[in-house]
């Protein structure tokens, strides 16, 4: 059975690159009917926080990337790591090193000055010394031959062992280093395929040597190219939000972000939009490109608008409801929000935009755009608005047909064009010159609110001119 994993360090939020790695692992496992494991790599005691762990779990859940079984926590496995370190020491495959940081710094400076690679020079490699309170443990790496990485994405990559260091596998505080802990955990958890960013590629030969030294089966590796910003530099905060949950706060839907992330490096013909079921059925690593992907915020925004348009009414209402509340608006029940969201979904790119644009639905009094009021709440418009309010009071059924007939009849009676009535109504109801269809706005607001707002606009116009 294929088993993949996502193993974030809880030292911050789940960023876009990490989310794509998690997604690729999740899809690969689901496509092949395998298992997807989540492991929190929290052995960095100084930087790991419970808050970051919760943030990562929340982001995974929001994206819909469910994991099999309970999450693993690497810090709970430290004794297992220490046992494996002792095993390597007893077999002569690892050794204690007592070189001080100052001595190591001098060695690096000397190597650089002599034009050599600044790797550890093996001072303690054959001394056969015992551990002390501050000693570290180093892996006795081979210094001849090559280590070959058969990468599922990049192809075969060969490393000369003489370039590799005797890496530290246990720090002076007794905690394992990343390269060692990840090998032990992946092997003991039965991970068959390690899919991760290509910034880990240089770690892979070291890890392969550790697999061999520990007698473990070597998994399949696949290194995914990095994500770049529009300037072709590595994606960072200067290119926009990099936190997954920041996109939730900005009003993006999780399906849009998942759909966008999977297309950063993977393709299926010219298809752009995929359901989750389609992704599971179609995804495989042979369609992952070898070149870096460029993050395009406009493409993500386009996808988000698509998913907002396709969202079922009640679900969309429940998702946008908190964004109206963040504006300090008293929002009624979901059924009313459903009507509002139905009016707005065709023109909204994010839930934030939807709430900002649709705030007028829930305001006690309309906030008029000054230019709009100046242009459309005029003396001429006052008579039109009063006529509309009077006629609406007599209208029994506020429907599209009823509204259209009423407004056309008023325009005919008042010997004017419909637009000279419709635009003042729009400003009276929304405070703006742009809104969803006027009949939709009127039906959603309801007759009483429409009449009250129109009469308020008449009074506003009179007050402003007084």
Q: Three-class SS of residue 252?
A: coil
In whole angstroms, give the CA distance from residue 429 to residue 446.
Answer: 11
Tell me the per-residue pLDDT of 58-113, one tens digit each, with 9 for 90 and over.
999 999 999 999 999 999 999 999 999 999 999 999 999 999 999 999 999 998 88
Q: Give the model's pLDDT for residue 396.
A: 86
pTM of the entire structure?
A: 0.91
Angle between helices 50-63 and 16-31 (to 10 degrees): 50
In eight-state DSSP terms, residue 269 is T
With contact defined as beta carbons under 8 Å apart, do 193 and 219 qualify?
yes
Residue 347: what are its φ and ψ, rounded to 5°? Answer: -120, 10
How far is residue 97 from each of residues 133, 179, 214, measured CA to CA in Å?
Answer: 11, 17, 20
Tell me the per-residue pLDDT of 268-291, one tens digit each, with 9 for 90 and over.
999 999 999 999 999 999 999 999
Which residues are catalytic, by number? 237
Nearest to 134 by CA among 99, 102, 108, 166: 99
For range 240-249, the mean pLDDT: 88
With contact defined as beta carbons under 8 Å apart, do 230 and 239 qualify?
yes
In whole angstroms, give the CA distance from residue 358 to residue 348.
Answer: 10
In whole angstroms, give the CA distance from residue 387 to residue 393.
Answer: 10
Q: Give the model's pLDDT for residue 331.
A: 87
Nearest to 158 by CA among 205, 193, 194: 205
Nearest to 24 by CA among 77, 63, 78, 81: 63
Beta strand pairing status for 94-97 and 136-139? antiparallel
Q: Which two tokens stand for residue 67?
A: 């994991």
């Amino acid at each position: 059975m294929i088993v993949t994993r996502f193993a974030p360090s809880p030292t911050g939020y789940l960023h876009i690159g990490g989310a794509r790695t998690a997604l690729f692992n999740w899809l690969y496992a689901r496509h092949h009917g395998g298992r997807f494991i989540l492991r929190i790599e929290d052995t960095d005691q100084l930087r790991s926080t419970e808050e970051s762990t919760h943030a990562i779990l929340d982001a995974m859940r929001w994206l819909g990337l469910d994991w099999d079984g309970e999450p693993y926590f690497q810090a709970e496995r430290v004794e297992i790591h220490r046992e494996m370190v002792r095993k390597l020491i007893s077999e002569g495959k690892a050794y204690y090193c007592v070189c001080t940081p100052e001595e190591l710094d001098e060695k690096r400076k000397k190597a650089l000055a002599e034009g050599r690679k600044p790797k550890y020079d093996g001072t303690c490699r054959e001394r056969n010394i015992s551990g002390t309170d501050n000693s570290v443990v180093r892996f006795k790496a081979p210094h001849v031959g090559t280590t070959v990485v058969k990468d599922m994405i990049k192809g075969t990559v060969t490393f000369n062992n003489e370039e590799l260091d005797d890496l530290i596998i246990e720090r002076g505080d007794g905690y394992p280093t990343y390269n060692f802990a990840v090998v032990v955990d992946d092997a003991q958890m039965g991970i068959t395929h390690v899919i991760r960013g290509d910034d880990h590629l240089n770690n892979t030969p070291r890890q392969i040597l550790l697999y061999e030294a520990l007698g473990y089966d070597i998994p399949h590796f696949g290194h995914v190219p990095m994500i770049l910003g529009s300037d072709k530099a590595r994606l960072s905060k200067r290119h926009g939000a990099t936190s997954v949950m920041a996109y939730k706060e900005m009003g993006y839907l999780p399906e849009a972000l998942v759909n966008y992330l999977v297309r950063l490096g993977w393709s299926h013909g010219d298809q752009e939009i995929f359901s989750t079921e389609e992704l599971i059925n179609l995804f495989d690593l042979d369609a992952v490109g070898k070149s870096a992907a460029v993050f395009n915020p406009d493409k993500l925004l386009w996808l988000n608008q698509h998913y907002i348009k396709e969202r079922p009414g009640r679900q969309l209402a429940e998702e946008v409801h908190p964004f109206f509340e963040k504006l300090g608006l008293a929002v009624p029940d979901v059924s009313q929000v459903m009507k509002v969201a139905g009016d707005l979904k065709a023109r909204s790119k994010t839930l934030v935009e939807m709430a900002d644009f649709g705030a007028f639905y829930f305001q006690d009094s309309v906030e008029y755009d000054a230019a709009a009021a100046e242009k459309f709440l005029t003396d001429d418009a006052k008579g039109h608005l009063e006529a509309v309010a009077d006629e609406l009071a007599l209208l029994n059924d506020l429907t599209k047909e009823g509204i259209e007939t009423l407004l056309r009849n008023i325009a005919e009676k008042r010997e004017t064009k419909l637009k000279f009535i419709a635009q003042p109504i729009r400003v009276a109801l929304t405070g703006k010159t742009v809104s969803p269809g006027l009949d939709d706005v009127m039906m959603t607001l309801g007759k009483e609110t429409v009449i009250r707002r129109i009469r308020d606009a008449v009074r506003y116009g009179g007050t402003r001119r007084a």
